[in-house]
Amino acid sequence: MATTKKAAKAASKGLEDLFLDGLKDLYYAEKKILKALPKMAKGAESEEVTAAFEKHRMETEGHVDRLEEVFDKFGKPARGKTCPAIDGIIEEGSEMLEEYSGAPALDAGLVGAAQSVEHYEIARYGTLIAWAEELGKSDVVELLRATLKEEVATDEALTKLGESGVNERAMQEAA
């Protein structure tokens, strides 16, 4: 019976399977983020917000490369797996672009949407690092930590950007 077969397969799944599934999710997510960032950069009103998104787009290219290296360390081909969580977060960012186009609150909304993306990434990288440590893959841990550092720095930069006037501008009445 199919269910028995499925149960047998599930019974043999261990931490490495869990890690590789998470890796595929994150690979899909990083590629999706890579496509979304230029749209957000283009849509932003202020130069600072555009610059922040463009800077992180370049870093994100490196994140994709590092994940490909991680697949390689496990002797697996780099392959993504649809991650509905990031699809939803990015969908919200697109809605922000449409619904707040031309509004004083647009940039504050975009910064908030981008921070949701960073928090997703911080959570996922943190989990994969813990599992890679458990699996004894120190070279993989190092690669993932390098990206995590950039995600955390981006999140902090976005917080500062919001506080530096973006949120205040959102308080203005639309002209």
Binding site for Fe ion (CB under 5 A): 60, 63, 121, 151
Q: Which residue type occupies 61?
A: E
Q: How far is the CB of 94 from Fe ion (least distance, A)?
A: 17
Q: Which residue sits closest to Fe ion, CB atoms considered?
A: 63
Q: Rounded to 5 degrees, what angle do the CA atoms 145, 146, 152 make? A: 80
Do residues 26 and 64 touch, judged by C-beta distance below 8 A?
no
CB 107 within 8 A of CB 49: yes
Least separation in angstroms between CB 82 and Fe ion: 17
* Smallest separation, CB 57 to Fe ion (Å): 9
Nearer to Fe ion, 64 or 103 (CB): 64
Question: Which residues, other chains included, contact 141 with Cβ-Cβ below 8 Å and sequence gap of 6+?
Answer: 129, 132, 133
Q: State the nearest-atom distance from the C-beta of 6 to Fe ion, in Å.
A: 33
With respect to Fe ion, which residue has the nearer C-beta, 107 or 151?
151
Tell me whether residue 13 or residue 35 sits nearer to Fe ion (CB atom): 35
CB of 5 vs Fe ion, minimal distance in Å? 37
Q: Which is nearer to Fe ion, 107 or 121 (CB)?
A: 121
Tokens of 157: 């930069």
The pair of structure tokens assigned to 2 is 């199919």
Nearest by Cα to 122 from 90, 82, 150 = 150
Q: CB-wise, 45 or 121, nearer to Fe ion?
A: 121
